[in-house]
Structure 1
Amino acid sequence: MHVLSRRAEPDLAVRVAGEPTRGVPVVLVHGMASDHSTWRPLAAALRRHGRDVVSVDLRGHGRSGRPGGPYRLDDFRDDLVYVLDNLGIHVADVVGHSLGAHTALRLAMYEPSRVRRLVLEEVPPMPRDEADLSEGITMKATLGEQVRGLLALARNPSPVLRFDGRMGDEIVAEFDVCTPQWWTQLPRVSAATLVISGGEKSFLPPRHLRSVSDALPDSRFVTIDAGHSVHRDRRAEFIRHVEEFLGLLAP
């Protein structure tokens, strides 16, 4: 792991495979209470295709530092900008899961020219109105997802042990506020985008993810009936979709 040290903000840990400045690397961004290790199978597949890969530990996760103040969604976005700038990456393909997908989408809205292709796995949208708020569509894992999460924890407890638990309530609080302007900014995204839903097994209703996909200028939508962690629980199918979307498979 490379640790990118900063004075006023938390250090950020990244795993770099290849030479990310020589072309368009793939940046992988994990979900809440996870870390870069969740992407090892995908990273290995991308490397077999000759792609350079950067796997990020978000602030408060893995080997990255913790902020002195509260966690805010835009800070995760700014951390990705810092990683790109520090590594000399002008443009990247970005794959994100859950909080990482939301962060990647904020990056693509904030600096559209930096993201060429974007994969959003189970991206939680901001609430548009009181109807969205009353539905409570984010951050509520189903029983099945909790069981699968416990099994994953038994196999690899490090991400949860290193996770800053106070983050959860602070981030959920941001999703408890109507933010219609988030939706009006989605057309700023210029990246070709693949939105992946985990289907009805997920706590994120597929129709909301489809709404995100429909609001993006160049997007396709796919459902893999796996629950919230598609890349973990339907690994081969997830990797195939990413490979196809990134143009890595022969026609």
Structure 2
Amino acid sequence: MESFVLPHTVHGDGPHKVVAVHGWFADRSAFDPILPDVDRSAFQYALVDLRGYGEAKDAPGAYTTAEGAADVLAVADRLGWERFSVVGHSMGGSVAQRLLALAPDRVRRLVGISPVPASGLPLPPEQWELFSSAAHAPQNRRVIIDFTTGGKRPAGWLDRMVSRSLERSEAKAFRAWLDSWAGEDFHAEVADSTVPALAVVGTLDPALTADLMRGTWLRWYADSRLLELPSAGHYAMDETPLELIRAMEDFLRADGDGRGQAPGNGPRPA
């Protein structure tokens, strides 16, 4: 498996280094809604485009979480980051956990935003058909986004999310990524990790739920916690950006880095 340096942008100049990995429906622009308000003096964020997305849309590859983890590690190497935290959304949460399995001594803290568990996400046949056909069916992408945000988001936002997804993902790669993040089980490789791990989920998301995290994330990671955002679905970056930033950065700074602030009153533990 050959790694290459994923396209990426760096934001901030803080001492705590953080790599952010997007999900199945978007490239690194998925994090645009939170960028204006992240703490750039405490953290330095590197946002990457996985193979098949954004500036890496035409990059060949296997399009697997294992390959993605190796690619993210190559970005950290290029930046000279020996230790860093990893934030991953949905599919990117699976990539982040693969990175923990690949280089456990280099991962400082792990944040999953509606993360796919390291055990994969088996789908019943009718859902598998919906998801697997979404590579070439924009209406399926819209149904999935609407479902995972509780059917509560406006039509214009759903249309924009679908348009962005189509524009910034390559259909063949999009389809191949599904087989990896949904079908691969590598939880034995991360079970009992002592790296501090936070899972953030949205109450409106019926797929990546707090109960699912209790049965996976909280069982596997010895120093883990779970936060639920009551007003969010699957896309907390868009739906509740300020609440997400507070939850994420309070957790990241809890080891004393950054400006030394203690975690405050964030979203409720789930």
If the TM-score is normalised by the length of the shorter chain, which range does it land in? 0.7 to 0.9
Query: What does residue 224 of structure 1 align with?
Result: 229
Query: What does residue 34 of structure 1 align with?
Result: 26
C-alpha distance in 1, partners of 2:92/2:242? 20
SS class of match (2:63): coil
- Distance verdict in 2 for CA 1:52–1:178, change over 3 Å: closer
Q: In the alignment, is residue 239 of structure 1 matched against residue 245 of structure 2?
A: yes
Cα displacement (A) at 1:133? 5.3
- Distance verdict in 2 for CA 1:122–1:149, change over 3 Å: farther
Q: What is the Cα-based RMSD across aligned positions, in Å?
A: 3.2
Deviates more, 1:64-73 or 1:137-146: 137-146
Give structure 2 stretches of 5+ with no counterpart.
132-142, 254-258, 265-270
Cα displacement (A) at 1:245? 0.8
Report if the CA contact (8 A) 1:142-1:202 is conserved: no
Output the amino acid matched with 2:6. Answer: L
Cα displacement (A) at 1:222? 1.2
C-alpha distance in 1, partners of 2:26/2:246? 22
TM-score of the pair, normalised by structure 1: 0.80
Query: What does residue 51 of structure 2 align with?
Result: 59
- Distance verdict in 2 for CA 1:164–1:27, change over 3 Å: same
Percent identity between the aligned chains?
Answer: 26
Output the amino acid matched with 2:92. Answer: G
Query: What does residue 12 of structure 1 align with?
Result: 6
Cα displacement (A) at 1:148? 5.8
- Distance verdict in 2 for CA 1:128–1:217, change over 3 Å: same
Output the amino acid matched with 1:207. Answer: D
SS class of match (1:221): strand
Query: What does residue 176 of structure 2 align with?
Result: 170
Output the amino acid matched with 2:247. Answer: H
Query: What does residue 160 of structure 1 align with?
Result: 166
**Number of equivalent positions:** 238
Cα displacement (A) at 1:149? 8.4
Cα displacement (A) at 1:87? 1.2
Cα displacement (A) at 1:194? 0.6
C-alpha distance in 1, partners of 2:115/2:155? 18
Report if the CA contact (8 A) 1:62-1:159 is conserved: no
TM-score of the pair, normalised by structure 2: 0.75
Report if the CA contact (8 A) 1:187-1:215 is conserved: yes
Aligned pair partner of 1:215 in 220, 234, 257: 220
SS class of match (2:24): coil
Output the amino acid matched with 2:45. Answer: V
Give structure 1 stretches of 5+ with no counterpart.
1-7
Query: What does residue 141 of structure 1 align with?
Result: 144
Query: C-alpha offsets along residues 18-71 of structure 1, whole Å, 9 cap, x if unaligned?
Result: 457xx3312111112312222234333334443222111111111125343542
C-alpha distance in 1, partners of 2:119/2:252? 30
- Distance verdict in 2 for CA 1:178–1:60, change over 3 Å: closer
Deviates more, 1:31-40 or 1:77-86: 31-40
- Distance verdict in 2 for CA 1:171–1:114, change over 3 Å: same
C-alpha distance in 1, partners of 2:159/2:172? 19
C-alpha distance in 2, partners of 1:9/1:198? 33
Query: What does residue 205 of structure 1 align with?
Result: 209
C-alpha distance in 2, partners of 1:92/1:243? 14
Report if the CA contact (8 A) 2:63-2:180 is conserved: no
C-alpha distance in 2, partners of 1:158/1:113? 35
